């Protein structure tokens, strides 16, 4: 047993210090990014925000809605093959839609069949596991890269620089960062495992960028200001679940409570998700997610505008004319725990 003494921070622990700026309006800020992915060598141009591959948010309708704003979606893995084929065959095909998969042989076989049918319209793949530190996960990533050298692979989740480096060397283009920070994830409470998300982003981004790779902050953002902090910390992409849940584009059950329409939202390791897709919680494990009821929020359009407006505003406060400049112009100020207790997290 050992104890690390270095300070680790979460979004609530910091604020971004303002700096002098020549910008006069948020409209002058360009929040798109251009990348050439390390292994696939494919080019990307868009706003690097991705709807999470949860069955409520990683939907076809969400992909179509976010595509109008140059945002992406990781389509959840529980769609049937024929549904996925029809979606990726749409003309024009929704840009930047990630095909999501696990690491079992049936997952791989399903992807192979869909890829054969859809062809080059599937350019992006999200390999998603809760624990990205297993040998089986690494071997699966290596196998996928060897079989499909030109697809862009996003894979995770991890929270340390060493594992980020290993995944990039094994063929991952975008490493997904985050263990336990999601609003409906209970991994930290159930297992005691996790890492403060802001520090995880900083450390993993530093490791990835040194090798020419990229990172995606997955989980923990509850406000537009959190996205600004994640980008400021060096994240190249950000994945959102709860912030995009509760909208018309989500495929989730709607119930009425006290005369108010609410939408169910649950973690993909929750008892609800495992009952739905795996026949229940296996006797060797415990659920590591929960279900909540969210007020129905209508179209996702207004939420997208709020998120993008918040990120643009952060850029104007520090004088970043382009999103790629935000991390270079970000200075974080620690907020004391006492201040958090009195006023609430920033």
Strands (E), the chain: 14-16, 33-36, 43-46, 49-51, 72-75, 97-101, 124-128, 152-158, 174-177, 214-218, 237-240, 254-257, 260-266, 291-295, 332-334
Host H or E run for residue 302: helix 301-318
Would strands 174-177 and 214-218 be described as parallel, antiparallel, or unpaired? parallel
For 180-237, the DSSP string reads: S-STTB-HHHHH-----HHHHHHHHHHHHHHTT-EEEEES---SHHHHHHHHHTT-SE
Which residues are catalytic, by number? Answer: 185
Number of H helices, E strands in the chain: 11, 15
Cα–Cα distances (Å) from 155 to 63, 178, 230, 232, 334, in that order, read: 19, 11, 18, 22, 31
Side by side, the strands of the sheet bearing 254-257 are: 254-257, 260-266, 291-295
Yes or no: say if 74 and 54 are a contact pair by the CB < 8 Å rule.
Answer: no
């Amino acid at each position: 047993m050992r104890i690390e003494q270095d300070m680790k921070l979460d979004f609530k622990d910091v604020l971004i210090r303002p700096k002098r700026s020549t910008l006069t309006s948020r409209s002058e800020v360009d929040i798109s990014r251009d990348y050439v992915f390390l292994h696939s060598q494919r080019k990307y141009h868009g706003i690097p925000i991705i709807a999470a591959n949860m069955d409520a948010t990683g939907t076809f309708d969400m992909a179509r809605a976010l595509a109008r704003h140059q945002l992406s979606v990781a389509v959840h893995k529980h769609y049937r093959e024929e549904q996925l084929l029809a979606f990726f065959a749409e003309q024009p095909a929704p840009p930047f839609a990630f095909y999501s998969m696990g690491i079992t042989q049936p997952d791989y076989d399903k992807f192979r069949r869909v890829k054969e049918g859809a062809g080059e319209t599937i350019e992006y793949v999200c390999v998603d596991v809760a624990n990205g530190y297993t040998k089986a996960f690494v071997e699966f990533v290596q196998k996928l890269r060897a079989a499909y050298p030109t697809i862009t692979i996003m894979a995770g989740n991890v929270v340390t620089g060493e594992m980020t480096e290993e995944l990039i060397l094994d063929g991952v283009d975008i490493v997904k960062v985050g263990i336990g920070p999601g609003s409906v994830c209970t991994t930290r409470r159930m297992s005691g495992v996790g890492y403060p998300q802001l520090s995880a982003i900083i450390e993993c981004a530093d490791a990835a960028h040194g090798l020419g790779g990229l990172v995606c902050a997955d989980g923990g953002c509850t406000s537009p200001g959190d996205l600004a902090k994640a980008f400021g910390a060096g994240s190249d992409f950000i994945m959102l679940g709860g912030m995009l849940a509760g909208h018309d584009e989500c495929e989730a059950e709607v119930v009425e409570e006290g005369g108010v329409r609410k939408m169910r939202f649950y973690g993909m390791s929750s008892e609800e998700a495992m009952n739905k897709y795996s026949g229940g919680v296996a006797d060797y494990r415990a659920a590591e997610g929960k279900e909540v009821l969210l007020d129905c929020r209508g179209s996702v359009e207004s939420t997208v505008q709020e998120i993008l407006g918040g990120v643009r505003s952060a850029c104007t406060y520090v004088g970043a004319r382009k999103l790629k400049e935000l991390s270079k112009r970000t200075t974080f100020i620690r907020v004391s725990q006492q201040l958090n207790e009195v006023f609430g997290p920033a």
